[in-house]
A and B are shown apart, each in its own frame.
With several copies, the nearest count.
Chain A
C-alpha cells in the first residue's frame, strides 16, 4: 500500500480522499492555489503544496504543477478526484512517466472512452444498446432527412463535433425537417467551424440512470448497482438517488451486465461509471449507452450508503494492485439513499454566488451524511465550481430517506451567501419527486413553479428573528456568542416596553 498520496483536486472531494487516506494510514498531500491557501482541504491534509495562482488553468489544471508537487512531496500515488484533470489522459501518462500510481484507468482507456464516437462503438460491440443514429456521409438536406426517416421520428439533429447542447434541434416529421437542418448547420459552423451533422433518435423523456463499475488489475469487473440522476439543470445534476424508482431486478441485471461488458471491452481499471438513458418502465424499459465517465462521480456516496462499501478506499486498493475483495454476488443493496447537492447559487436565478460563509452549520442526525469542502468562515470565490456540500440521506425506504433529507436540509443553515437549499426543500416535496415520476426534463418543466414558491418575502416570524439578531449579537457575523443587548442598535424595531398586548 502507498505511504503517501497526493490529491490533485480541491473542495469536498479532496476532503473525502484525505479522510479515506487517514483511515488507511496513508499520509495525504493536498495541493492548493493561492485562493485555497487555508481552505478546508489544505488544512486537513497531512501536508500541502502550493501549485499556483488562483486561476484553475494555472493551478488545478496544470499537469506540470501537479507532477512537480507529487515529486517534491514524495508522494507515490495521485488521486485526481472528479472534474479538473480527472479525465485527462496526459495527467495519467505523466504520472506513469514520473513513477507515480494514477488512481484511475490507464491513459489509453481515458482517451478511448473520452471519444464519444469510439466509446459508442465499443459499447455497441459489447452488446450495449446505443441511441440509433449516424453521421450521414452525404450531408445534403435530402440525405439527412432520409437518415432521419430510417432512424424513425422524432429525431435530434446536432453538430457531429459538438457538445453542451449547442446546435441541437428536434425534428418531428420529414416534411418539417429542412428548417431544423439549416439552423443546426448554421450553429454548428458558428460554434465549431464544422457544419457536419449527426442524426439520432430523440428519446423524449428519458431518465438518466448510470451504473457504478469497479475493475481490478486481476481481471475482475463488477457493478455496484445503479444511480438515478434525472434531476439536472443544464446537465448539472442536482439530486441523485439509488435505487432508481423504475428499476426491476431483471432490468438491473441486464443493465448491470451491459455496464460490465462495456468496461471489460474497454480494458477498464479502477472505478468508473457507465451512463445510460432509460426509456419506459418495468422489465421492458429500453436503455441506451450514453457515455462512460472514467473517474469517481460526485454522486458516489449514494452507492456507498446503499451497498455498504467505500468506493474511494476501493479505488486506492485497486491502484495499489490489490484484488477486489468482493464478488458480484456478494454485493447487496439495502435501503435507499438520496443525495442533494448544495450549491452556492441563487435558488431562483441559479446564478453562482461568491462571499463568506458567515454561518455554516452542518446537520448531524442518524442516517444523514454530509460531504463538505467548507467550514464556517470559509470564503467562496469565483474561481471554482459552486458545490459547497453534498447531503446524503439514507433510509430503510425511499420515503424515509426523502423525509430525512428534508429534515436535514431544514436544519442546515448557511448564511452570508445564497444557496440552493430553499429550492432543494421545495423539490423534495414536489408531488412528482415524491412519486418518483422523474425524467431529465423535470427541472425544465417544474423549475418555474418551484421558483415561484420561493419568491415570497420574509414573514413576520422571520422579521422577529432578524430583530432579535440585531438586538442581541455584537459580532454575529462570526457566529459569536450572544451578548447583552446593545440598546443603541435596536432600530428599526421600536421598544414596546410596558405595552402588554
Chain B
C-alpha cells in the first residue's frame, strides 16, 4: 500500500510517497547543522545524521540507510541480476572460471576478484549462458562496470 510520510522541516510541511504505511502524525525534523538532525515523533526525540551525496545517507539508532534520489523506493540490499555481475568495489581480477558460450547454473562461480586482502566471488544470479567477457585476469576493475554478459533467456 502506498501512503504518505509527512514531516515538518524548517516550519514547512513536506510529504513523500512511501511504499509502506506511515503514521498519521507528521514527523518534525529540525536541522541542527553539521549533518545532525533532531527527529521528533510525537513526544519522542532522537538524533539522526544525514548527508546527501547523490543518494541520501541516513544514520538513525545505529542503522544506516541509503535513500536514493528517487525517494520512493529504497535501494535493495540484495543484488539484482545486473549489479551481480559487477565488481562491488575497485578490485583485481584473480581468475575467470567461465568462457563465452558456456552454460552456467544459478550460483555458479564466474569470476574471482580480490580487494582489501579478501577474495570476492562473482556468481551467476540465475542460470543462463555466458555471451561475452569484459575483463581479463590481472585487470583492475571498477565498480559499476559489467564484468561479463549472461543471456538468461536461453
A-side interface residues toward B, CB under 8 Å?
Answer: 38, 42-48, 73, 346, 348-349, 351-354, 358-359, 361, 375-377, 382-386, 406, 409-416, 418-419, 421-422, 424-425, 454-455, 457-473, 476-482, 484-485, 490-497, 499-501
Which residues of chain A come closer than 8 Å to B10, judged between CB atoms?
471-472, 484-485
Whether A468 touches B9, Cβ cut-off 8 Å, given contacts A415-B64, A422-B62, A458-B65, is yes
Which residues of chain B come closer than 8 Å to A418, judged between CB atoms?
64
Give 23 CB contacts A-B under 8 Å: A45-B45, A48-B45, A349-B88, A358-B57, A359-B59, A361-B49, A382-B91, A410-B61, A413-B59, A415-B59, A416-B53, A460-B27, A461-B27, A466-B67, A467-B56, A467-B71, A468-B31, A472-B10, A482-B34, A493-B71, A494-B15, A496-B13, A497-B13
The answer, yes or no, to whether B6 is at the interface (CB within 8 Å) is yes
The CA of A477 and the CA of B9, in the complex, are separated in Å by 19
The CA of A416 and the CA of B125, in the complex, are separated in Å by 27
Looking at the assembled complex, report how far the CB atom of A21 sits from the nearest CB atom of chain B, in whole angstroms: 13
Further contacts, 5 of them, CB under 8 A, given A411-B47, A418-B64, A465-B37: A352-B89, A361-B49, A413-B59, A477-B52, A496-B12
B37 touches A47 (CB 8 A): no
B52 touches A460 (CB 8 A): no
The CA of A86 and the CA of B70, in the complex, are separated in Å by 48
A492 touches B70 (CB 8 A): yes
Which residues of chain B come closer than 8 Å to A352, judged between CB atoms?
89, 115-116, 118
Which residues of chain B come closer than 8 Å to A461, judged between CB atoms?
27, 39, 41, 46, 48, 60
Looking at the assembled complex, report how far the CB atom of B65 sits from the nearest CB atom of chain A, in whole angstroms: 4
The CA of A455 and the CA of B38, in the complex, are separated in Å by 25
The answer, yes or no, to whether B94 is at the interface (CB within 8 Å) is no
B77 touches A377 (CB 8 A): no
A359 touches B9 (CB 8 A): no
A43 touches B35 (CB 8 A): no
Q: Give B2-60 interface residues, CB cut-off 8 Å to A.
A: 5-7, 9-10, 12-18, 20, 22-27, 29-39, 41, 43-53, 56-60
Looking at the assembled complex, report how far the CB atom of A379 sits from the nearest CB atom of chain B, in whole angstroms: 10
The CA of A466 and the CA of B53, in the complex, are separated in Å by 11
The answer, yes or no, to whether B117 is at the interface (CB within 8 Å) is yes
Looking at the assembled complex, report how far the CB atom of B78 sits from the nearest CB atom of chain A, in whole angstroms: 8
Which residues of chain B come closer than 8 Å to A48, judged between CB atoms?
45
Q: What DSSP secondary structure best describes chain A's contact surface?
A: loop
A501 touches B49 (CB 8 A): no
A468 touches B7 (CB 8 A): yes
The CA of A480 and the CA of B26, in the complex, are separated in Å by 26
Which residues of chain A come closer than 8 Å to B144, judged between CB atoms?
none
The answer, yes or no, to whether B69 is at the interface (CB within 8 Å) is yes
The CA of A425 and the CA of B63, in the complex, are separated in Å by 8
Which residues of chain A come closer than 8 Å to B117, judged between CB atoms?
384-385
Q: 1/0 per position for B93-137, CB-CB distance to A under 8 A?
A: 000000000000000000000011110100000000000000000
The CA of A73 and the CA of B42, in the complex, are separated in Å by 12
B56 touches A383 (CB 8 A): no
Whether A38 touches B89, Cβ cut-off 8 Å, given contacts A416-B57, A472-B9, A476-B50, is no
Which residues of chain A come closer than 8 Å to B35, judged between CB atoms?
359, 413, 415, 469, 473, 476, 479-480
Which residue of chain A has the shortest Cβ distance to B72 in the bound complex?
A492
The CA of A419 and the CA of B65, in the complex, are separated in Å by 11
Looking at the assembled complex, report how far the CB atom of A496 sits from the nearest CB atom of chain B, in whole angstroms: 4
B33 touches A478 (CB 8 A): yes
Looking at the assembled complex, report how far the CB atom of B20 sits from the nearest CB atom of chain A, in whole angstroms: 7
Which residues of chain B come closer than 8 Å to A471, judged between CB atoms?
9-10, 14
